[in-house]
Amino acid sequence: MNFNKALENIKVYEAGKPIELVVREFGINDKDIVKLASNENPKGCSPLVQRAVSDIVAKMALYPDDSMMKLKEGLSSHFNIAQNEVIIGAGSDQIIEFAIHAKASSTQTILMNSVTFAMYEVYAAHVGANIVRTKSREHNLEEFYALYLEHKPSIIFICTPNNPTGDATKREELLLFLDKIDSDTLVVVDGAYMEYGMYKDEAYAITPSALIKKYDNVLYLGTFSKAYGLGGMRTGYGIAQEGIINALYKLRPPFNITTLSLEAASVALEDQAFVKDSMELNASEMKRYESFADENSMEYIESYTNFITLLLGTAKNSTDIASALLRRGMIVRDLSGYGLNAIRVTVGTQKQNSRFFELCTEILKG
């Protein structure tokens, strides 16, 4: 059968290996498997969410509230924005999809970092858009600006803090960059890890309200999958001026968010103490990763997220290291597909991280 030609350029996205697969492939007991591959919150989610969700199970026969009023109210007061300045997606992934479908086509260009979130490219391929990437591994906004002048992209993706490298862009730098971009170019600021970045250093804190007050061409993305520990609930959001939100709404399928997800996200947003505890755990465990890397003469990229990218140099191969870890029940991300000889490790619980150090030491010696 012949399919839409655009599909020929799409590689199926390889998500972090689920634990179930490792159980089946390697016959390892699931309690001996540690997954540090998808930047999930090792603390799980707020206990308030667990209670709220079990209370709501009785309502599952009914379609969800498609106005998403409760979650929109929550986001609106949390971020100090109007309710018509937000759209909720099945993960912020879905908002990326809407944004690309709304603003790009096969005659247009999308500008992004050399190494960045893989889904931008997947959705760009849906519409056959041309992709231009910077050369630097980390976001370099001067390079972005030169390519912007040269290629006149219809969308620019700035992922800060960036996945899978963990580096971030300073607020001042981003604002100076945005000042120079014409208002018909959509700039997507993907803040999936912003809670971590702003906890580490205020100079990297970028709030959606500050962006959209000043710029009518910026779409800020956030998610409940990382800091809030709700990856399984598939809930994210986009914040922009009303004109952008209205355009994205035309692409939104009705009932794109389940009743359980809406409730979970609303309650999670109210428990900021849980988020703060998660940030503290992450920061102290991140220090252990940095010490581990230093002790083993391993380079790493300073991280503003809940993962660390360990650079393996020329002596070791990231694919070999990742598969050696996998055989021992430790799931991490091999970044060879991104052109980096590196592994990305999600910062887990103290115990999970200790296990990583133990296994990694064993493999590096061998």
Ligand X SMILES: *Cc1c(COP(=O)(O)O)cnc(C)c1O
Positions in the binding site for ligand X (CB under 6 A): 91-93, 117, 159, 163, 190, 192, 223, 225-226, 231, 236
Give the residue with the Cβ less far from ligand X, 303 or 355.
Answer: 303
The tokens describing 71, both together, are 């979650």
Q: How far is the CB of 163 from ligand X (least distance, A)?
A: 4
Q: How far is the CB of 362 from ligand X (least distance, A)?
A: 29
Give residue 92's Cα distance to chain centre: 8
Which residue number has the CB closest to ligand X? 91
The SS3 assignment for 285 reads helix
Q: Where are the alpha helices (DSSP H) in the chain?
A: 19-26, 47-56, 69-79, 92-103, 118-126, 141-151, 171-179, 194-200, 208-214, 242-249, 259-270, 272-295, 318-327, 350-365
Q: How far is the CB of 305 from ligand X (least distance, A)?
A: 8
Vertex 358 angle, CA 348 and 168, to 5°: 40
* CA distance linking residue 154 with residue 311, whole number of Å: 33
The tokens describing 340, both together, are 């980096």
Burial label, 8 (beta-carbon count in 10 A; 0-12, 13-18, 19+) = exposed
Give the residue with the Cβ less far from ligand X, 93 or 285.
Answer: 93
Give the residue with the Cβ less far from ligand X, 78 or 152.
Answer: 78
Residue 45 makes CB contacts below 8 A (sequence gap 6+) with: 228, 229, 230, 264, 268, 274
Give the residue with the Cβ less far from ligand X, 78 or 351.
Answer: 78
Q: How far is the CB of 5 from ligand X (least distance, A)?
A: 27
Give the residue with the Cβ less far from ligand X, 144 or 355.
Answer: 144
Q: How far is the CB of 231 from ligand X (least distance, A)?
A: 6
Give the residue with the Cβ less far from ligand X, 17 or 355.
Answer: 17
Q: How far is the CB of 190 from ligand X (least distance, A)?
A: 5
Q: How far is the CB of 308 from ligand X (least distance, A)?
A: 14
Q: How far is the CB of 180 from ligand X (least distance, A)?
A: 24
Give the residue with the Cβ less far from ligand X, 28 or 125.
Answer: 125
Give the residue with the Cβ less far from ligand X, 226 or 252.
Answer: 226
The tokens describing 99, both together, are 């944004």
For residue 99, CA distances in Å to 94, 181, 248, 265, 331 come to 9, 17, 6, 22, 32
- The answer to whether residues 100 and 145 touch, using CB atoms and an 8 Å cutoff, is no
Q: How far is the CB of 28 from ligand X (least distance, A)?
A: 26
* CA distance linking residue 87 with residue 102, whole number of Å: 14
Give the residue with the Cβ less far from ligand X, 228 or 359.
Answer: 228
Give residue 12's Cα distance to chain centre: 18
Q: Of 170, 159, 110, 108, give the one whose Cα is nearest residue 137.
A: 159
- The answer to whether residues 212 and 81 touch, using CB atoms and an 8 Å cutoff, is yes
